[in-house]
Amino acid sequence: MTEAPDTTASDSQKAPVQYHWGETNGKRYKRGSRLPKKTGTPTPAAETPHVPWKWEEDGYTVIRGTARSAPGCHNVCGILSYVKDGKLVKVEGDPEDPYNQGRLCSRCLCIPDYVYSKDRLLHPMKRAREDRGKDKFVQITWDEAYDIIVHEFKKVADKYGVDKIAMCQGTGRDIHQVTRLNACMGSPNEGVPYFAGNSCYLPRIASMACMLGGSCVMDASQFLPKRYDDPRYTVPEYCIIWGHQPFYSNADGFYGHWILDLMKRGMKVAVVDPQLSWVAAKAGRDWLRVRPGGDGALAMAMLKVICDEQLYDKEFCDLWVYGLDALCERVKEYDLDDLCEKAWVDKEDVVRVARTYATSHPAAIQWGVALDQQTGGQQAAHAITAMWCITGNLDIPGGNVMADACWGIEQPNWVGTWGWDELMDDEEQSKRIGIDRYPMFAVGFKNMSSNATIEAWQRGEIPIHAAYIVTNNFLATMGAQAETQLEWYKQIDFIVVEDLFMTPTMMALADVVLPAATYEERDGFGGLNAYRISCINKAIEPVGDSKADNTIFLELGKRLTDAIKPENDDIAWPWDNVQEMWDYALEDGGFTWEELRDATWKYPEFQYRKYEKGLLRPDGKPGFRTETGRAEVYSMVFHHTMWSGLDPLPSYVEPVESPYSDPEDAKEYPYIVTSGARVPHFFHSEQRQIAKLRALHPDPLVYIHPDTAAKEGIEEGDWVWLENKHGKCKYKASFNDTYDPRVMQAEHGWWFPERTDEAEENTENEMDGLFGVFESNINNLVPFDAGVSGFGSNYKAMMCKIYKA
């Protein structure tokens, strides 16, 4: 058995933590780090725009800022908020902002309706534990809420150990400082423990980190403030859009219509999608209607074509890639016909798309969550990453570029925990759930493993005794088999839920409710993307007693540290207000929060071909931050952890519970259904209570081929049951004859805020209540299994049958 070297932090991991005092914006702070103290002045921003951040216009006060949560979204679109008499009247896209160039999606356009929704939570509340699931909340003050939380967390820490307190996140909100809440107490457990296989982006990010010592994103010029007009930029000739609906999802800080901007500028597309999306129709012959779960087979098929036909960039590989020969040997083990057959894609089409990709310069791949949501997805991500490495499309204009946190500002939040080393000792850190079980979790990432947690529940253990659930409605969104998980979570001694609306998860489980605020009601900055740091600028006072997530963490963090780990008192939360916290966080960029507000956005000077310039490695040498210093298509991290079943080379792993891995079950469940078919107006389980958005999409839909429907006696608009051995759920049938008749797609995140009676009356049968959350819940069908990596469960490839409700 070999130990995994920590590639993303190998240079720092062994070094002891050094503490020192420093000054930020006139205040002294104690800091701790394993890395040597940064010296020198930060590189100045590439562009500081000269636009005002506030002005008067026709009786409105207009405030310029960027939209970064709540509501959930990873983008930082530029916005102008129009305020009259202290009320937000409307929001417009900021035409000056290079990010969205005046545009907005429906979710931000609707923000006044969201802010002033009659359903917004206005006050902290408490509820007796025995009343979980019943609408018996009592309004309390913030002080009382904090006192209860501190008291209950302390009780759990004393009784079971502080590592049994978990910070449970969701996605989309700027709440990453929550990781400091667990760290300040000495608990290493933070993550998405209900999300089987951590099945969103982490599988891809972790794969890239193991291969490249960092991660890549498609270059749509978003790093350059002049965008498409910057002479350094090249429009990709060809782009493979893989498992991704860019226009409706705006996922992972990639504004989807950038793809469209590039298509208008001549970029051709291939689309890998079981659905004929609008953009797939634009791809013509290059729409590859992959079997859900067949992405790994398809990726290996393409890689095989590129290797067998020697379409890779030999010169680039000689200089910068490790493992090309081994890869060429590996793909020989596969039969192209077999791979194409398993992928349900014509060989001719696969060969053509692989050749076009390899011979177009530059070419890009823009991928999506579908790859994270199947067992074998991590291996598929490995294969796809290898495609852009060996064709020399790595870190070049219009290719897939290495992306780092701007000025390193948000780096701690990218890898999991802000304050990991400075607030926790080795022993505390070692209690993270899953690091011994799934070695990929030991590589740079600081999250707890969902599957190790799920396995503990399955064994009858109680891995979590207190939970702080923030920006997550897991019963509706990420919780595989949510009904089963609810039974587990009910055993947790004490649960806090922080959100903006009364969600099913909150109704089911919260002992204390904390009302959070929107981006219109708070100051902050957006830095989770790799392009720029931008200002979140408060336009109005928070409604009711709601508070910004970050304010809550700061206020509660001080109290928790003091009660549970007072030795962290002078270092954990030394700021008097959030602005001081931001000044501290922004210091590495060389500007204060006020300076950021004056500029609204700051782009660091972006560099292509960083590997040539010594910009990727801490030692300043050319190459990548990996053991071999190269882009490792043969990953040394996986090489050292082969004992766990990880494979150093790309491979095709058939998902569990598929027609190929489980042909017996396939007789009873002949169809494949995916979750998460995207709708433009909803971010996961959000916005169902916003009338204008809901009116555009009132019901949960399953998209199905009319021939299949006819065979099963279903007519368009009928309510149908989808069912497999894990559970069933109810959807309205919508026909589309471009699907493979064996495939259907269901939407996710559905619950019915309008069914308040059921929530109130749910004392008898809880499953009827909770705003109908289990009814149209495709996750009822999702298996927990995430394969050898612990990354990726079958959210997008479930076997099922279908019948009329």
Task: Decide which of other proteins, ligand SF4, none touches 691; Cβ closer than 5 to 8 Å per partner kind.
Answer: other proteins
Task: Give the pair of three-digit tokens for residue 174.
Answer: 């700027």
347 contacts other proteins (rule: CB under 8 A): no
563 contacts other proteins (rule: CB under 8 A): no
- Which three-class secondary structure string do you get for 373-407? CCCCHHHHHHHHHHHHHHCCCECCCCCEEEECCHH
Nearest to 229 by CA among 266, 267, 265, 259: 265
Nearer to ligand SF4, 565 or 681 (CB): 681
Distance CA 10, CA 16 (A): 13
Q: Which stretch binds other proteins (CB under 8 A): 149-157, 216-224, 254-262, 751-759?
A: 254-262
Report, in Å, the least distance between residue 215 CB and other proteins: 26
Distance CA 783, CA 799 (A): 10
Report, in Å, the least distance between residue 257 CB and ligand SF4: 8
Angle of CA points 767, 770, 776, to nearest 5°: 70
Residues whose CB falls within 8 Å of the CB of residue 288, separated by 6 or more in sequence, listed in order: 270, 271, 272, 273, 298, 343, 345, 349, 350, 353
CB contact at 8 A, 291 and 343: yes
Contact letters (x/-) for other proteins, 262-281, by CB under 8 A? Answer: -xx-----------x-xx-x
Nearest to 536 by CA among 578, 500, 473: 578
CB contact at 8 A, 677 and 746: yes
Distance CA 157, CA 76 (A): 37
Crossing angle for the helix pair 178-185 and 549-564, nearest 10 degrees?
0
Task: Give the pair of three-digit tokens for residue 570.
Answer: 């002078």
- Residue the block writes with tokens 């079950």: 665
696 contacts other proteins (rule: CB under 8 A): yes
Nearer to ligand SF4, 163 or 521 (CB): 521
CB contact at 8 A, 721 and 702: no
Burial status of residue 48 (CB atoms within 10 A of its CB: 0-12, 13-18, 19 or more): middle
285 contacts other proteins (rule: CB under 8 A): yes
**Residue 208: φ, ψ to 5°:** -65, -40
284 contacts other proteins (rule: CB under 8 A): yes
Nearer to ligand SF4, 73 or 492 (CB): 73
62 contacts other proteins (rule: CB under 8 A): no
Nearer to ligand SF4, 473 or 794 (CB): 473
Report, in Å, the least distance between residue 271 CB and other proteins: 10
631 contacts other proteins (rule: CB under 8 A): no
CB contact at 8 A, 626 and 632: yes
Tell me, rounded to whole angstroms, the distance of Cα 802 from its chain centroid.
30
Report, in Å, the least distance between residue 100 CB and ligand SF4: 6
216 contacts ligand SF4 (rule: CB under 6 A): no
If phi over 0 gives left and psi between -120 and 50 gives alpha, with beta otherwise, what is residue 778? alpha
Distance CA 363, CA 300 (A): 18
Report, in Å, the least distance between residue 94 CB and other proteins: 10
Beta bridge partners of 729: 722
Longest Cα–Cα distance of the chain, Å, equals 73
187 contacts ligand SF4 (rule: CB under 6 A): no
Give residues 629-648 in contact with ligand SF4 (rule: CB under 6 A). Answer: none
Report, in Å, the least distance between residue 73 CB and ligand SF4: 3
Give residues 234-253 in contact with other proteins (rule: CB under 8 A). Answer: 247-248
Give residues 672-691 in contact with other proteins (rule: CB under 8 A). Answer: 680-681, 691
- Residue the block writes with tokens 């077999």: 338
DSSP symbol at 60: E
287 contacts other proteins (rule: CB under 8 A): yes
DSSP-derived secondary structure for 763-800? TS-GGG-GGGTTTT-GGGG-----TTTS---STT-EEE
Distance CA 94, CA 136 (A): 43
Task: Decide which of other proteins, ligand SF4, none touches 563; Cβ closer than 5 to 8 Å per partner kind.
Answer: none
Task: Decide which of ligand SF4, other proteins, none touches 122; Cβ closer than 5 to 8 Å per partner kind.
Answer: none
Contact letters (x/-) for other proteins, 91-110, by CB under 8 A? Answer: xxx-x------xxxxx--xx
Beta bridge partners of 603: 47
Report, in Å, the least distance between residue 114 CB and other proteins: 12
Q: Which stretch binds ligand SF4 (CB under 6 A): 67-75, 432-440, 601-609, 779-787?
A: 67-75
Report, in Å, the least distance between residue 98 CB and ligand SF4: 13
Cβ neighbour number for residue 452 with a 10 Å cutoff: 20
Nearer to ligand SF4, 107 or 532 (CB): 107
Report, in Å, the least distance between residue 184 CB and ligand SF4: 30
Give residues 236-275 in contact with ligand SF4 (rule: CB under 6 A). Answer: 250, 255
Q: Which stretch binds other proteins (CB under 8 A): 203-211, 283-291, 394-402, 620-628?
A: 283-291
Report, in Å, the least distance between residue 670 CB and other proteins: 24
Task: Decide which of ligand SF4, other proteins, none touches 38; Cβ closer than 5 to 8 Å per partner kind.
Answer: none
Report, in Å, the least distance between residue 690 CB and other proteins: 9
Task: Give the pair of three-digit tokens for residue 696.
Answer: 């555009």
Task: Decide which of ligand SF4, other proteins, none touches 110; Cβ closer than 5 to 8 Å per partner kind.
Answer: other proteins
Distance CA 700, CA 749 (A): 9
Distance CA 383, CA 430 (A): 32
67 contacts ligand SF4 (rule: CB under 6 A): yes
DSSP symbol at 617: S
Residues whose CB falls within 8 Å of the CB of residue 704, separated by 6 or more in sequence, listed in order: 714, 720, 733, 734, 735, 736, 739, 744, 802
Report, in Å, the least distance between residue 89 CB and other proteins: 9
Q: C-alpha distances in angstroms, 566 versus 445, 558, 560, 561, 562?
A: 26, 9, 9, 5, 4
Nearer to other proteins, 88 or 162 (CB): 88
Give residues 427-486 in contact with ligand SF4 (rule: CB under 6 A). Answer: none
Tell me, rounded to whole angstroms, the distance of Cα 253 from its chain centroid.
9
CB contact at 8 A, 575 and 581: yes
Q: Which stretch binds other proteins (CB under 8 A): 504-512, 518-526, 714-722, 734-742?
A: 734-742
Task: Decide which of other proteins, ligand SF4, none touches 75; Cβ closer than 5 to 8 Å per partner kind.
Answer: ligand SF4
Task: Decide which of ligand SF4, other proteins, none touches 645; Cβ closer than 5 to 8 Å per partner kind.
Answer: none
Contact letters (x/-) for ligand SF4, 72-111, by CB under 6 A? Answer: -x-x-x----------------------x---xx-xx---
Report, in Å, the least distance between residue 278 CB and ligand SF4: 10
Contact letters (x/-) for other proteins, 106-135, by CB under 8 A? Answer: x--xx-x-----------------------
Task: Decide which of ligand SF4, other proteins, none touches 77; Cβ closer than 5 to 8 Å per partner kind.
Answer: ligand SF4
Task: Give the pair of three-digit tokens for residue 316.
Answer: 């680039």
User: Identity (one letter) of the amino acid at 339?
Assistant: L
Q: Which stretch binds other proteins (CB under 8 A): 88-96, 669-677, 760-768, 769-777?
A: 88-96
Give residues 108-137 in contact with ligand SF4 (rule: CB under 6 A). Answer: 108
Task: Decide which of ligand SF4, other proteins, none touches 73; Cβ closer than 5 to 8 Å per partner kind.
Answer: ligand SF4
Distance CA 633, CA 714 (A): 47
Residues found near ligand SF4 in the complex (CB under 6 A) = 67, 73, 75, 77, 100, 104-105, 107-108, 250, 255
Residues found near other proteins in the complex (CB under 8 A) = 58, 90-93, 95, 102-106, 109-110, 112, 247-248, 256-257, 260-261, 263-264, 276, 278-279, 281, 283-285, 287, 680-681, 691-696, 736-738
